[in-house]
Chain A
Amino acid sequence: MNAIEIRNLKSYYVVGTVKEVKEVQAVDDVTLGIRKDEIFGIAGESGCGKTTLIKTLTGLITAPLTVRGGDVTYNFQSGPVNMLSIDSDRYRRKVRGAKISYVPQGSMSVLNPVRRIERSFDDFIMAHRDLSRSECHEMAATHLSHLGLSPSILRAYPHQLSGGMQQRVTIALATILEPEVVLADEPSTALDVVMQRSVIQLLKRIKRDQQNTFIMITHDLAIHANFCDRVAIMYAGHIVEVAPVRSIFKANKHPYTQFLIGSLPRIGDKGERTSAPGAPPSLLNPPKGCRFHPRCPKAMDVCRAKRPRLVTVDDDHQVACFLHSEESYDE
């Protein structure tokens, strides 16, 4: 049984000015199964919908974000929970801290700037467990040393630490209650290369110790290569390919994935690189049929008319492309 089942999820943004109201189809009919204990990566560029997806997965659904359909089920050890049907905001928050942990983009701001770090830890722990303040301190100190961070950090204020250090502290905070699922949204973007490496190392260590299920969202495919087990490629609100990380890099099937991987430069290789022509579509008015067809060098007539279904074409390898299957969604 999968740790998380996402079925036909539709998450749109409802936007408007004084005059009119439109819908941005940020996550459009997404179905994914995430296995227990795996590190699952979601890759895609800006505007593809991955941040919306993760917000929906964690239940952070506030206007203008609206769920228009589908469901998200977590199969915790204590039983299945449908994230979207939880009415009470309070219960959602309980689940969010203890069972699911969300590390958002730019998460240094999670730390209260006028309190010492240990207070943020205490507040968080005490919201979910019945412990005294000194027990919380102890828990935090042990957790930090396990992760190779000095417990003396706890006495500091956030602004006394560098950006990278703040990020690592935030990750430690997010994982102190040993959540079953950790969702990280661009945890290492905006950090320098060396700091980025240490953040990813930290995540690897946590995974080793706590055996959680990880969902990692980033546009940086090199991070996926270094960290994830399976990767899903997202384009314009749809999932276009899902496969083990090696297959994504060495045996990819979707033309967009091929462009993505093929355009990555690497040190030591001066060979010519090319980009996909055109630009990602606006999600206010996405193209009919396969959303990639305007830019696809292999587009056929059927691509313009129908949307290809995400099907398994190889061992554990799913693609949504008419080059590999004839199944489509009924429009």
Chain B
Amino acid sequence: MKTIAELLRNDWRFAFGFLVFSLCVLLVVLSFFSPYAEETWSVFQRDLPPSMENLLGTNSMGQDIFWKATQALRNSLLLALGAAAVSRVIAIAVGLFAGYKGGRIDRVLMTMNDSFIIIPLFPVLILIASVLGKQISLFNLALVLGIFGWAWDARLFRSQILSLKERPFTYTARLSGMKDVTIIAREHFPFIVPLIMAATLNNIIWAIGMEVTLSILGLSSLNNATLGTMIYWATQYQAIFLNLWHWILTPIVLTILLLLSLYMLSVSISQYLDPRTRIKRITLGQG
């Protein structure tokens, strides 16, 4: 708690990110109280401008944009979190295993890893989307993104571990009688955890971006409200030409804000947790 307060006070990026993201979270929470279900159309008159009743107006399907936006935000975020969770588990498992075991296991895992890296993601996703067709759900999408999003980070974790293995303090720990597992948990984790956190935030950002891109192309679960699908429908209905700014701008602005705030958080948190700045803080604390 104290560190959050400290960060808020001193790092404008963290403050910005924290505030904006909290706002997004608030909107997500609100979405559970939405009086209108996601899929229903024609609740209101179409294409109404913002008013007291519809804070952001209505779209061409007769849905209230404000509530739709909260649901979209919620779904996009949940999808990204799901994808990130899946890919983290795989990336950590592969990276740590390959790094610590080395030898043949390392080579096999890394070959697998590299195969995943070079897979051209877009064509594959388009292929999967067209194969799944109507059965695409947000859940499937999250799974797919998770399965394809781990390769870069696995290599990152592995290289961090390879370097940690050779650091003299690892030898010191061993010479002090510590068991290998203890060494990994106590000596190496303080270095790896910040890396994992930063990589996770980046992964979330990537997943949101991918979802939006896929949705705009129509390759997503179009009946669900996500930031991407809102943009899709808005473009399908020619919102720009019809001067329905409130409809097209809402998801775009929300996406930008969400991504920007997450990015700011990611940058400032990873700088805070970076071992080098932590050491600097310890040094200056003594003066």
Residue B163 at the A interface, CB < 8 A?
no
Q: Which residues of B contact A284 (CB under 8 A)?
A: 284, 287
Q: Which chain A residue has the least Cβ–Cβ distance from B7?
A: A18
Bound together, the chains give a CA A282 to CA B287 distance in angstroms of 8
Residue B6 at the A interface, CB < 8 A?
yes
Residue B11 at the A interface, CB < 8 A?
yes
Residue A15 at the B interface, CB < 8 A?
yes
The answer to whether B284 touches A18, judged by C-beta atoms less than 8 angstroms apart, is no
B101 to chain A, nearest CB (A): 34
Q: Which residues of A contact B277 (CB under 8 A)?
A: 17
The answer to whether A19 touches B10, judged by C-beta atoms less than 8 angstroms apart, is yes
The answer to whether A17 touches B6, judged by C-beta atoms less than 8 angstroms apart, is no
- Within residues 1 to 28 of chain A, which ones have a CB less than 8 A from any CB in chain B? 15-20, 22
Q: Is the interface of A mostly helix, strand, loop or mixed?
A: loop
The answer to whether A17 touches B287, judged by C-beta atoms less than 8 angstroms apart, is no
A13 to chain B, nearest CB (A): 12
Residue A285 at the B interface, CB < 8 A?
yes
Q: Among B7, B11, B284, which residue has its beta carbon within 8 angstroms of that of A22?
A: B284
Residue B134 at the A interface, CB < 8 A?
no
B276 to chain A, nearest CB (A): 11
B2 to chain A, nearest CB (A): 12
Q: Which chain B residue has the least Cβ–Cβ distance from A21?
A: B284
B 1-36 binary contact with A (CB < 8 Å = 1; else 0): 000001100110000000000000000000000000
Q: Which chain B residue has the least Cβ–Cβ distance from A16?
A: B284
Bound together, the chains give a CA A17 to CA B9 distance in angstroms of 13
Bound together, the chains give a CA A22 to CA B6 distance in angstroms of 18
The answer to whether B11 touches A17, judged by C-beta atoms less than 8 angstroms apart, is no
The answer to whether A20 touches B11, judged by C-beta atoms less than 8 angstroms apart, is no
The answer to whether A285 touches B287, judged by C-beta atoms less than 8 angstroms apart, is yes
Bound together, the chains give a CA A284 to CA B6 distance in angstroms of 24
Bound together, the chains give a CA A16 to CA B6 distance in angstroms of 15
Bound together, the chains give a CA A207 to CA B31 distance in angstroms of 79
A207 to chain B, nearest CB (A): 41
Q: Which residues of A contact B7 (CB under 8 A)?
A: 18
Bound together, the chains give a CA A26 to CA B22 distance in angstroms of 45
The answer to whether A18 touches B287, judged by C-beta atoms less than 8 angstroms apart, is no
Residue B179 at the A interface, CB < 8 A?
no
Q: Which chain B residue has the least Cβ–Cβ distance from A284?
A: B287
Q: Among A19, A282, A285, which residue has its beta carbon within 8 angstroms of that of B6?
A: A19
Bound together, the chains give a CA A18 to CA B8 distance in angstroms of 11
Q: Which residues of B contact A19 (CB under 8 A)?
A: 6, 10, 281, 284
Bound together, the chains give a CA A20 to CA B9 distance in angstroms of 12
Residue B104 at the A interface, CB < 8 A?
no
Shortest beta-carbon contacts, A-B, top 5: A18-B10, A17-B281, A284-B287, A285-B287, A17-B280
Extra pairs beyond A17-B284, A19-B6 (18, CB < 8 Å): A15-B284, A16-B284, A17-B277, A17-B280, A17-B281, A18-B6, A18-B7, A18-B10, A18-B11, A19-B10, A19-B281, A19-B284, A20-B284, A22-B284, A22-B287, A284-B284, A284-B287, A285-B287
B contact set with A: CB distance below 8 Å? 6-7, 10-11, 272, 277, 280-281, 284, 287
A contact set with B: CB distance below 8 Å? 15-20, 22, 282, 284-285
Could you pull out 22 A-B pairs where Cβ atoms are within 8 angstroms? A15-B284, A16-B284, A17-B277, A17-B280, A17-B281, A17-B284, A18-B6, A18-B7, A18-B10, A18-B11, A18-B272, A19-B6, A19-B10, A19-B281, A19-B284, A20-B284, A22-B284, A22-B287, A282-B287, A284-B284, A284-B287, A285-B287
